[in-house]
Structure 1
Amino acid sequence: MSEAICGRESVYGADLTRGRKYEILELDEAKGQVKVRGNRGRMRWYPLSCFDFDVPAAAVLSTVEVQSEYEADPSQYVEVIVGLSDGQRRWCIFATPAALIEMGDPLKGTTVRVLYGAPHLIVATAIDEEIIHRTLHHIDSQGELLACTLPLGVKG
């Protein structure tokens, strides 16, 4: 049979690894599932949505560079550069809900600020280096890292 690349681990993180190739043992398009041997050696059915069939390889997270000092001040935001296994460099912003108060465009004639069109903004209730790394690895495992970052050099 052919092979497929895991593009999204979903809830199967112990059995599937994003970016890894799996031999397709059976395919049931009617039920929307594929049978592969997972990381633990068990053969089982997984949703088709976990796999990419038309890509030679998936670019996965390889490096994380925190660009600004973070001092446990919840009103700050942190810029982060991520490197992917295919050489791409992308960036995103981590912010706490408190930091959002200072971000965005002021609405003329009001004290209201509006923030929109920022898919590269990741909001977490707390931010430190470990949380940034764990969050980015989680986003990558779900196949959403490209959607949550911008190419380096593009400002949002």
Structure 2
Amino acid sequence: MTKSIVTCCSVGVYGHALKRGNQYIVNNESDDKYRITGNHGRLVWIAKAYFIEGNITLPYLKEWKVEDNPAELDFIEVDLMFSDGSKRWCLITTPSKLADYFEKQMDRLGFNIRHLLILKEINYEAIEKTLRYLEAQDELTDVSRALKQ
């Protein structure tokens, strides 16, 4: 009997056992879970929702860059480059910069920006950790927009 292979598309709360993009051999399965050997070397049952069936290559975030000066703007644009050649972008701000924006824009009562990330602070480490976390949760595409090339 050949065992099937699944690819992790989201780590969820299983960061100790899974890595997005890794392939795992299915040792057993139920209606809604796979039993795989996690990265920590133990057999675990994990919901099928965290996987795609087959040996799939998922694009990953290769690099990102910020060209704006965070000291000058309330919203900073971040360009994202992926392993498959695709490019996306998002905006980042902090709670205090968001409050400053509303102070300056007296006529605005609110707005909706789906590709806006609010970080505690804007520095390389905070941006990197946030982007990697969102990627591991398979949310980076949802919080960014395609960059028209």
Mark yes or no: TM-score above 0.5: yes
What TM-score do you get using the length of structure 1 for normalisation?
0.82
For residues 133 and 10 of structure 2, the distance between their equivalents in structure 1, rounded to whole angstroms, comes to 10
> Which of these residues, 93, 110, 113, is aligned with residue 114 of structure 1?
110
For residues 64 and 45 of structure 1, the distance between their equivalents in structure 2, rounded to whole angstroms, comes to 34
Unaligned runs of 5+ in 2: none
For residues 120 and 93 of structure 1, the distance between their equivalents in structure 2, rounded to whole angstroms, comes to 6
Contact 1:66 1:129 in 2 (8 A): no
Contact 1:14 1:39 in 2 (8 A): yes
> Which of these residues, 9, 12, 15, is aligned with residue 13 of structure 1?
15
Shift of residue 56 of structure 1? 2.6
Shift of residue 53 of structure 1? 1.8
Q: Which amino acid aligns with 1:95?
A: T
Runs of 4+ in structure 1 over 4 Å off = none
- Residue 2 of structure 1: aligned partner: 4
For residues 128 and 77 of structure 1, the distance between their equivalents in structure 2, rounded to whole angstroms, comes to 13
- Residue 29 of structure 2: aligned partner: 27
Q: Which amino acid aligns with 1:46?
A: I
Does 1:131 find its partner at 2:129?
no
Specify the SS of the correspondent of 2:21: coil
- Residue 97 of structure 1: aligned partner: 95
Aligned pairs (5 A) from 1:17-56: 17-29=19-31, 32-53=32-53, 56=56
For residues 65 and 117 of structure 2, the distance between their equivalents in structure 1, rounded to whole angstroms, comes to 15
The share of aligned pairs that are identical, in percent, is 27
Shift of residue 57 of structure 1? 2.0
What TM-score do you get using the length of structure 2 for normalisation?
0.86
Output the aligned Cα RMSD: 2.1
Higher helix share: 2
Unaligned runs of 5+ in 1: none
Specify the SS of the correspondent of 2:6: strand
CA-to-aligned-CA distance 1:113-152 (integer Å, 9 cap, x gap): 4211x21110122211110010000000101011011111
Q: Which amino acid aligns with 1:41?
A: G
Contact 1:120 1:149 in 2 (8 A): yes
- Residue 148 of structure 1: aligned partner: 143
CA-to-aligned-CA distance 1:58-114 (integer Å, 9 cap, x gap): 22222111221223x7x62211111112211110010112333427xx6xxx73342
